[in-house]
Structure 1
Amino acid sequence: MKTTVHLSFDLDALSSWITSFKQTSPTPISRGEFGARVGVPRVLDLLHRLQVPATFFVPGHTALTFPEAVRAIAAEGHEIAAHSFLHASPVGMSREQELNDFIAAEEALKQVAKVKPIGYRSPAWDLSVNTLSILAERGYLYDSSLMADDYRLYRPRINDEVQSDGRVVFGPNSSLVEFPVAWELDDFVYFQFMGKPPLNGLRSAEEVGAIWWAEFDYCAKHVEGGTFTLTMHPEVIGRGPRIVMLERLIQRMKAIPGVQFSRMSETAERYNQSMPMA
């Protein structure tokens, strides 16, 4: 039984504070800066020492604001995937607005890191009715924003319709590969202190490490060919004790026979080869 682990990092930096939280005074901006200034070097050092690949979801704004941090990620051979331009949710955008956001994000990543992303994760894990079709049209291979499974990849549907009486009409499967996400496997909700529920943060690294290990352990023991995807943010996981916890977690995973670490693009390509569209 082989389990594939995907370590993914959302390098939001300043963008989430500017757009999602609408906090632009010096202190919140400095919290975002910590991700590029301190978090990224610590994460890259850890990944290098343990010789494991990762996927970084990078907003275009982050690439333009902290180009050296993004180039360092690329130089280490990690995947750089798309995460909007300024961490703005696509919900409520017109199709044209969302398309322009994709174009701006892609151009920034190309300019800074010389990459064309083939993976996408939506800010706040929410999609518009157009997102998946835009991804397919622009040649993306996979998305990582939905929650219809936990440890198995699947093809996300497009054009689902929720009717006025509440009935749901399912649309056809898209060509994309979906890497399901979960709040239980995201560092932000455990650690990031925002001063009000639900983001009270400040859980201990040991407690979160135990939760993540329990999730991985179930996947490895009970899901044939399962995929385990962690979502982390350098500004959050980059604190010293949390990096230590992550290192211990990775070492425990590596000690399990049949466990492999992969960039998400590589796993998506293998999925397409083994499970081609009908």
Structure 2
Amino acid sequence: MVHHHFRFGSSRRKLLMLIVLAVFFVLLFAFLFSMQRPRYVLLSFDVEPVDGRESVMGIIDFIVAKNEKSQADKKVNVTFFVTGEYALKNRDVIARITSEGFEIACHSFSHPVFLRLNKSQKRNEFFRCKRALDIAQAPKPKGFRAPYTLIDMETIRILERNHAAYDASTLSYTDVFYGSDNKMRRIPVSTVGLVPLNDVIWVNYLRSPSVFYWFLRHPADGAVSVIFHPRNAISYLNELEAVINALSERNVSFISYYHFTEVTYERDKGLGCS
């Protein structure tokens, strides 16, 4: 009797294993089937005083050198979200970003947590940043990203009333909570599960830079929005180059955030979307 009971228990374990494997392969097939071939990758660098001068210049040098070796349709464009404080202290960096043709967007003046500010303080941060970028002779910024990607409807309304072309502060799974009235384009940060594709989280907190860069080489969205910080990214240029090379082979376009709003506007207009 003991011998037969053991065989029965073993059969149950085998059956359970087969069920688990079947479920795994069904989920894997569903994931692969639902994957969209990425068309656009939006690489952004959030720049604040802690990043210093050399790391930002190093990132610019890297991208420029990469582009010099690339065909015209393989060139990489990026967006720098810059705080007003940084712009005033590093005007030569702002001039370099501008001269290389990269987009500069607003990242507040002093990098506070916007959720802790009242309406007047939020407006002040936005306008002081725009003023600082103007003093540093940057082109008029078209977009905005709140520090720590923490934004609320009050801030979004401020951006809309002041004709910002886009906001890049929401996450792919939180964007739905901010409405869809299309007064201003929102470009959410891409995520893996609930984790944003933000190098601070993966490098500083999860201590998993290799996993972060692996996900960047294997995107599952039609458009991917990624946050880097120069102080981190400068230590992983080989990994970043591998990402660019891998995606370039898949005919992905690396474009600025504002260019993305123009491309998708024309597409939506062609589809009759409002």
Q: TM-score, normalised by structure 1?
A: 0.74
SS in 2 for 1:96: helix
Residue 237 of structure 1, CA deviation: 0.7
What is the match of residue 181 of structure 2?
A: 173
Contact 2:197 2:212 in 1 (8 A): no
Tell me, yes or no, if structure 1 residue 232 matches structure 2 residue 240.
Answer: no
Contact 2:94 2:138 in 1 (8 A): no
2:249 counterpart letter in structure 1: A
SS in 2 for 1:238: helix
Q: Work out which of the two has the higher radius of gyration on C-alpha atoms and give 1 or 2.
A: 2
Tell me, yes or no, if structure 1 residue 185 matches structure 2 residue 181.
Answer: no
Contact 1:10 1:233 in 2 (8 A): yes
What is the match of residue 262 of structure 1?
A: 255
Tell me, yes or no, if structure 1 residue 11 matches structure 2 residue 47.
Answer: yes
What is the match of residue 143 of structure 2?
A: 119
Tell me, yes or no, if structure 1 residue 244 matches structure 2 residue 238.
Answer: yes
CA shift digits 1:243-269 (9 cap, x unpaired) = 111011101111113x11111101112
Cα separation, 1, equivalents of 2:38 and 2:203: 30
Unpaired stretches in structure 2, ≥5 consecutive residues: 1-36, 68-75
Residue 172 of structure 1, CA deviation: 5.6
Tell me, yes or no, if structure 1 residue 129 matches structure 2 residue 122.
Answer: no
Cα separation, 2, equivalents of 1:211 and 1:2: 13
Residue 273 of structure 1, CA deviation: 2.8
Contact 1:157 1:173 in 2 (8 A): no
Residue 174 of structure 1, CA deviation: 3.8
Residue 87 of structure 1, CA deviation: 0.4
Paired residues for 1:18-167 under 5 Å? 32=50, 35-51=51-67, 52-149=76-173
What is the match of residue 168 of structure 1?
A: none
Residue 2 of structure 1, CA deviation: 5.9
SS in 2 for 1:140: coil
What is the match of residue 213 of structure 2?
A: 209
SS in 2 for 1:110: helix
Q: TM-score, normalised by structure 2?
A: 0.75
Contact 2:172 2:188 in 1 (8 A): yes
Q: Identity, % of aligned pairs?
A: 25
Residue 189 of structure 1, CA deviation: 1.1
Cα separation, 2, equivalents of 1:12 and 1:235: 10
Aligned length: 223
What is the match of residue 253 of structure 1?
A: 247
Range with bigger deviation, 69-78 or 266-275: 266-275
Residue 148 of structure 1, CA deviation: 3.8
SS in 1 for 2:44: strand
Q: Over the residues paired in the alignment, what is the CA RMSD in angstroms? A: 2.2
Contact 1:8 1:54 in 2 (8 A): yes
CA shift digits 1:99-136 (9 cap, x unpaired) = 11111010000110332111111101111331111111
Contact 2:38 2:224 in 1 (8 A): no
1:230 counterpart letter in structure 2: V
